[in-house]
Structure formats: structure tokens, C-alpha cells
């Protein structure tokens, strides 16, 4: 439960932010000169707001969202599966006869998302479970023959999409980009830990 002192402090912070926003929107503020820097930069959509130009999280989320939306439409039309189901199929081609928890660990998806995707794949005859005799939560999953066929075709399509994403990159640039992405991925637990710590502080 949030204490009264913490709640009051949080309220003051919010009020200060509101006043700062209002001051930036004030009509009394002097207009920017016509020759000044633009408030948008090259980026996804119609242009990236200047405040987001140096935000890695913005670009990672924007890239992931656009690619996921495009992949979902393509895979649904071609193979009858969504992008989440494709990720699970892809996982099952890499490691067969595995637990849902392992899929969550590798893909970063929530248990509920993985569970729904597995149920959908099972209903379509693409995946099959091997039930644990005593604990249904420890059921192991594998692809059916039809699932493996779909996986092969979808993986080929995914490889082509990745190659298009690398358009204009030299081999050295690809290596450097993957190195940066792996380092960012390694730092994700630091962000998550800070988020959890912040939540715990607010509840204290």
C-alpha cells in the first residue's frame, strides 16, 4: 500500500510535470525561428519525433511492431498461422519435446501467450503434446509432420524477410549490429530489475 507521504510526493511530481507541459504549450512562448532544426527526423512512419531519435527502445519497439504486423498478415494468408504461432513453431524446430516454460524462456513471451499459441497449433494439427503422468503443467510439446512441413515453408519466408531487412548493410555492419543487439539483450535484465525495484518502492 502506498503511504500518505509517498502519495503526496508522487502527486507533487505529477503536478510539476503538468505545469512543465503547459508551459511548453503556452502561446506566450516565443516561436522557434524558421531556420531552426526540425522537430522530426528520418525514421519509421512519417518521421521520428526529435525527442525519440536517440532512444534505442523506441527503435526496437517500432521495428518489432511493424515486422510483427507484417509477418502476421503474411503467415496467416500463406500458412494459416499468426506470428506468435510461428514463433512457437520456430522454437519447436530448434528444440523438440520441450516444456512451455522453455519456450517462454527463449522467446520472452508470457506463459498465457505461449499456452494460447500451443492450443491453437494443437487444434490445427500442427503440434502435439505428451502429457506428464502426474503433472499436466509439465506436458512436453513437439511438431506433427504437418507442423514440420509448415515450419519449413515459414522458415524460408522468414529468412527472406531477414535478408531484406539487411539491405544496404555490409558484412562488417551486420556483425557490428548483431554485436550491439546482443549487448542490449544482455542488459534487459537490468531494466527489468530496476522496474521491479521501482514497483516495490511504490508499494512500500
Q: Tell me: pLDDT of 179 over 50.
A: yes
- Structural domain containing residue 128: 77-158
- pLDDT above 60: residue 22: no
At 99-124, the pLDDT tens digits run 999 999 998 899 999 999 999 999 99
Q: Is residue 7 in some structural domain? A: no
pLDDT of residue 202: 63
59 in a structural domain: no
User: How many CB atoms neighbour CB 17 within 10 A?
Assistant: 10
Q: How many domains does the chain have?
A: 1
Q: Is 189 contained in some domain?
A: no
Residue 92 lies in a domain: yes
- The pLDDT of residue 31 is 45
- Domain with residue 131: its CATH number is 1.10.10.10
Does pLDDT of 11 surpass 50?
yes
24 part of a folded domain: no
Nearest Cα to 120, choosing from 152, 168, 149, 80?
80
pTM, two decimal places: 0.65
Can you read off the three cell numbers belonging to residue 18? 503538468
Per the domain annotation, does 173 fall within a domain? Answer: no
Q: Compute the chain's Rg from CA coordinates.
A: 23
Tell me if 82 is assigned to some domain: yes
Residues 6+ apart with CB under 8 A from 139: 99, 100, 129, 130, 131, 132
Return d(Cα 1, Cα 181) in angstroms, integer.
38
DSSP letters, 135-172, are: -GGG-EEEE-HHHHHHHHHHHHHHHHHHHHHTTT--HH
Q: Please provide the average confidence, as pLDDT, over all residues in the chain.
A: 81
Asked if residue 36 is part of any domain, the answer here is: no
Q: What integer pLDDT is reported at residue 198 of this predicted model?
A: 77
Amino acid at each position: 500500500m502506498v503511504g500518505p507521504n509517498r502519495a503526496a510526493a508522487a502527486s507533487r511530481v505529477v503536478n510539476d510535470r503538468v505545469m512543465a507541459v503547459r508551459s511548453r504549450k503556452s502561446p506566450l512562448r516565443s516561436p522557434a525561428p524558421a531556420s531552426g532544426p526540425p522537430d522530426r527526423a528520418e525514421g519509421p512512419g512519417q518521421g521520428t519525433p526529435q525527442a525519440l531519435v536517440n532512444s534505442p527502445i523506441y527503435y526496437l519497439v517500432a521495428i518489432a511492431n511493424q515486422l510483427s504486423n507484417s509477418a502476421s498478415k503474411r503467415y496467416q494468408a500463406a500458412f494459416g498461422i499468426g506470428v506468435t504461432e510461428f514463433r512457437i513453431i520456430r522454437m519447436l524446430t530448434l528444440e523438440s519435446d520441450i516444456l512451455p516454460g522453455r519456450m517462454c524462456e527463449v522467446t520472452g513471451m508470457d506463459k498465457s501467450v505461449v499456452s494460447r499459441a500451443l492450443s491453437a497449433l494443437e487444434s490445427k494439427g500442427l503440434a502435439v503434446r505428451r502429457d506428464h503422468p502426474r503433472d499436466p503443467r509439465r506436458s512436453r510439446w513437439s511438431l506433427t509432420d504437418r507442423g514440420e512441413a509448415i515450419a519449413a515453408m515459414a522458415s524460408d519466408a522468414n529468412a527472406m524477410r531477414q535478408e531484406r531487412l539487411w539491405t544496404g548493410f555490409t558484412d562488417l555492419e551486420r556483425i557490428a549490429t548483431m554485436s550491439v543487439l546482443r549487448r542490449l539483450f544482455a542488459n534487459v535484465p537490468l531494466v527489468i530489475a530496476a522496474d521491479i525495484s521501482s514497483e516495490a518502492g511504490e508499494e512500500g
